[in-house]
Structure 1
Amino acid sequence: MDIRVINSLTYEDFVNIFGNVVEKCPLISAAIWSHRPFKDLEDVETHITEFIHSLSDSGKEGILRCHPDLAGRDLQTGALTRESQEEQSQAGMTTLDSREILDMYRLNAEYKERFGFPFIICVRLNKKAEILRQLSERLKNDRAAERERAIEEVKKICSLRLHSIVLSDMQTKL
């Protein structure tokens, strides 16, 4: 999918295709659609990033709360979005042993109790050992620092998802 195709999408198609680049936040794609024509995919990403940064702290935390716990109930029950399912699977969250599952549940609960939102890390760029280490380490942050760190991870996830959409569409046409 090239930028001409992206720019020609109807509002509904744009939101349908890009509505989950930020987990369960189609409002972001809806909000940036009016900025067309985009110069390139990076321009799309820039508008998403600017939208996120324009939000209040509570708005940013709202975005974070849309994310599932890693290796949590949604994974166990099959309730994850397709993107999250693929990402958690690739990172090894579906192959945790019983000890690792208990550690994840405990650390996720501590994290949510401390910060009020789930632990966010770009799992595509990490494996389970590093995810567990980061989860333990980031529990030491203060709320403001952790909110900003989590938003940076959301932006990484968004970037990878945007590029995956475009790449998968290009591969389909080959």
Structure 2
Amino acid sequence: MEMQVVNAMNYEQFVDVFGNVIEKCPLIAAAVWTKRPFPSVSALEKRFGDFIDSLPRSGKEGILRCHPDLAGRDLLRGTLSAESQAEQNRAGLTTLTASQRFQLTELNAAYKNKFHFPFVICARMNDRESIMNQLSSRIHNSPEQELQISIKEVLKICHLRLLDIISPVAHTTKL
């Protein structure tokens, strides 16, 4: 998809196409639409990042709360967004052993209990082992550190999802 096509989209089209680049946050896409035209994918991505950066702490935490638990209830029920389903599958989270699933469930619960939002990591840039290691490590962070790290992970996810939409040819997952 070329940027001229993106810039020509009406509000509904834009929100339909870009509404989940930030997980379950179509209102962010709606706000970003008002910043057209976008000269490049990078400029579009920057608008998403600028919007998130402008939010108060509660807004950033709200974005994080829109993310599903990794290998959690939504995965088991089949109610993940298509993007999250593919990302968790790619990271190996759809083929956990019972023991791994139990461990991840326990870690997710402890993390949520401490930070009051789910653990967020760019699953496409990690595998099952690195995700488990990061979760085990990051649970020891301060709330402020974890908020900053989690928002950076949201922006990585946004970056890759934008590339999927605009440049659907094979691309690297390195930032």
SS of equivalent to 2:34 = helix
Aligned residues: 170
For the residues of structure 2 that align with 1:62 and 1:107, how far apart are their CA atoms?
A: 21
Could you tell me which residue of structure 2 aligns to residue 12 of structure 1?
Answer: 12
SS of equivalent to 2:101 = helix
Taking the TM superposition and a 5 Å limit, the aligned residue runs for 1:72-91 are 72-91=72-91
Taking the TM superposition and a 5 Å limit, the aligned residue runs for 1:96-135 are 96-135=96-135
For the residues of structure 1 that align with 2:37 and 2:166, how far apart are their CA atoms?
A: 17
SS of equivalent to 1:96 = coil
- State, as a whole percentage, how many aligned pairs show the same letter: 52
Could you tell me which residue of structure 1 aligns to residue 45 of structure 2?
Answer: 45
Could you tell me which residue of structure 1 aligns to residue 95 of structure 2?
Answer: 95
* One-letter amino acid of the structure 2 residue matched with residue 15 of structure 1: V
Unmatched tracts of structure 2, length 5 or more:
171-175
For the residues of structure 2 that align with 1:99 and 1:67, how far apart are their CA atoms?
A: 23
Residue 83 of structure 1 and its aligned partner are, at CA, apart by 0.3
SS of equivalent to 2:61 = helix
For the residues of structure 1 that align with 2:127 and 2:53, how far apart are their CA atoms?
A: 28
- Structure 1 stretches of 4+ moved >3 Å: none
Could you tell me which residue of structure 1 aligns to residue 156 of structure 2?
Answer: 156
SS of equivalent to 2:141 = coil
Unmatched tracts of structure 1, length 5 or more:
none
CA RMSD of aligned residues (A): 1.0
Could you tell me which residue of structure 2 aligns to residue 143 of structure 1?
Answer: 143
Q: Return the TM-score normalized by structure 1.
A: 0.96
Q: Return the TM-score normalized by structure 2.
A: 0.96
SS of equivalent to 1:109 = helix
Could you tell me which residue of structure 1 aligns to residue 64 of structure 2?
Answer: 64
For the residues of structure 1 that align with 2:95 and 2:167, how far apart are their CA atoms?
A: 27
CA-to-partner distance for each residue in 1:130-162, whole Å, 9 max, x for gaps? 000000000000001100100000000000000
* One-letter amino acid of the structure 2 residue matched with residue 127 of structure 1: D
Residue 9 of structure 1 and its aligned partner are, at CA, apart by 0.4
Higher helix share: 1
For the residues of structure 2 that align with 1:105 and 1:15, how far apart are their CA atoms?
A: 33
CA-to-partner distance for each residue in 1:80-111, whole Å, 9 max, x for gaps? 00000000000000010111000100000000
Residue 34 of structure 1 and its aligned partner are, at CA, apart by 1.0
